[in-house]
Amino acid sequence: MVCFQTDYLQVEHHSKNKVLVTQWYGGCSSLQYRQALIQIMRIARDLQVHYIILDRRLLQPVTTEDLTWTCTIYAKAYTKLPLRKVAVLQAFNIITQQQQQQLYERLSDHIPVAAFEDLTSAYAWITE
């Protein structure tokens, strides 16, 4: 079921396996980026998901301020969710990938995080 959709992001809930899949489709403004992450957090909390797949392949680089916010405020809130695993589809853009790696390192201190090249492999790992 699609829970949230914009021009730059879609969030799907797979209730059978308690999986949330977030798929970025490109860049967006700073405000849109932060609001989207907050919306993902709310959906994950409200649906009590256990697994999240972060498909960030098409996400564009964010500002230094947004990166700091993501790695501090957002990461802290993220670790309070009842998550068991996080699968990541790494960004195609090398700068975005380097930025997002900082978030994954923070999360991996609290939640198992693994990187994948395709959605099928990520989903298989999440649900094994």
Please provide residue 5's backbone torsions phi and psi, each rounded to the nearest 5 degrees. -150, 135
In the chain the first and final C-alpha atoms are separated, in Å, by 21
pTM above 0.85, yes or no: yes
**What pLDDT was estimated at residue 105?**
87
Please state, in angstroms and rounded to a whole number, the distance separating the CA atoms of residues 115 and 88: 5
What pLDDT does 108 receive? 86
- Cα–Cα dist 56/54, whole Å: 6
Q: According to the model, what pLDDT value does residue 9 have?
A: 97
Q: Can you list the residues of the chain whose pLDDT is less than 50?
A: none
Q: What's the pLDDT at 124? A: 96
Q: What is the pLDDT of residues 10-43, one digit of tens each?
A: 999 999 999 999 999 988 999 999 999 999 999 9
What is the per-residue pLDDT for 104? Answer: 87
pLDDT number for residue 112: 94
Residue 42: per-residue pLDDT:
95
Write the CB contacts of 75 (distance below 8 Å, at least 6 apart in sequence): 103, 106, 107
Give the CATH number of domain 2-127. Answer: 3.30.750.24
Sheet of 51-55: strand order equals: 2-5, 9-14, 19-24, 51-55, 85-89, 113-116
